[in-house]
A and B are shown apart, each in its own frame.
Chain A
């Protein structure tokens, strides 16, 4: 059971101030540690934000818009090449179709010539028959002419058949190429429209990200500035402590030390009192300048002089 503290007001003041000093120092250290963490976290957050989503808000060649434009240019080149190739195939198919039709017409002409040759060979054979032995060599030539005409006719029929079959196939090829050309054209138009939409959305996204980063930067900068200022403000605890110790010293001057010390011991809670610290050399209550006369302090708080 602690003894009642004698009601010497100076001792009570000293005891209270001692407690205040201990508690404020403890609180200040804790605040300083936490504020230091806030500053470090804020700095890391800024760096993290910039590295993670900074590319979205970047400008120049590395921006999303620039990368997208580059990809669009590549696709455009491919589509143009495809369109040109399809156009060339369409033109080639048209020429082949025309050639096939020409071949079919030529085959019909050859068929007529072949028919005439056969008639001519037949008439020649009749005349050779009439001439008897003298017409024999002519008969041989006429027979060969007839065989040649029959062979030409057979080949011609095959050519005509093939050409006739080729025409609808080529028509189909031409139709398919036309459809491909149409689809390529449609794709180009659709792609152009979507590219514009994507471009607009990307520019909007880039702007939003830039604004967000900028606003975040500003707010974090404000947090940092305020936290740093608070850290500076915490230094006042040291200054206040020194002044309170001086108050204690002034408070104790002229008192009967022997009488007050036992009371001080009773008032003590925890470690040694400020007075005991001062007396044992563990604390100072004096400003060095107090012992100096003449020029007063003339430097502002926070000022720095390098020699």
Chain B
């Protein structure tokens, strides 16, 4: 079962994403902010896809994506998609430059998120 790490400081969002992805047959683990996400993905090499919020305390999603790009984890096959209320072109460009594979604006449509994750997990 493909493992997905959801990083969001909102418990509501983590619950929504978890329900959609577990319904789609994925295993879901959660992190409450960027630092927590970085620690969990570093400790768990089985994580195949990460879903990152942008606005989070301690370390935001863009910084986390850049850290994963810098430490070579993305090059090693980790796929990242951003899930956020943000839509600023400059932020999207930074995420893309860091190696993120997609940008979804909240509130997300479950079928679209599932399709995106399935594509990245394939």
Contact = CB atoms under 8 A, between A and B. Distances in A.
Interface residues of B, number: 41
A158 interface: no
A25 B11 contact: yes
B96 A307 contact: yes
27 contacts: A25-B11, A29-B15, A32-B16, A40-B23, A231-B19, A231-B110, A234-B12, A237-B10, A238-B10, A281-B57, A284-B55, A288-B86, A289-B88, A294-B90, A296-B88, A297-B86, A297-B87, A298-B89, A299-B105, A302-B108, A302-B112, A304-B103, A304-B104, A304-B105, A304-B109, A305-B103, A307-B96
B90 A235 contact: no
A232 B83 CA distance: 13
Nearest to B85: A239
B91 interface: yes
Contact of A295 (B23, B56, B86, B89): B89
A301 interface: yes
Contacts of A235: 12-13, 16, 106-108
B110 A232 contact: yes
Nearest to A306: B102
A277 interface: yes
Given A239-B106, A298-B89, A306-B116, 5 more contacts: A239-B85, A281-B57, A284-B57, A295-B88, A300-B105
Interface string B35-61: 000000000000000000011111010
Interface residues of A, number: 45
A245 B27 CA distance: 32
Interface string A45-85: 00000000000000000000000000000000000000000
A104 B46 CA distance: 104
Contacts of A242: 55, 85
The 10 closest A-B pairs by CB, nearest first: A299-B87, A235-B107, A297-B87, A289-B88, A238-B10, A306-B102, A295-B89, A36-B19, A284-B57, A304-B104
A295 B93 CA distance: 12
A145 B8 CA distance: 130
B58 A281 contact: yes
Contacts of B110: 228, 231-232
A305 B16 CA distance: 20
Nearest to A238: B10
Contact of A29 (B11, B57, B60): B11
Interface in B1-22: 8-13, 15-16, 19
A190 B119 CA distance: 63
Contacts of A282: 57-58
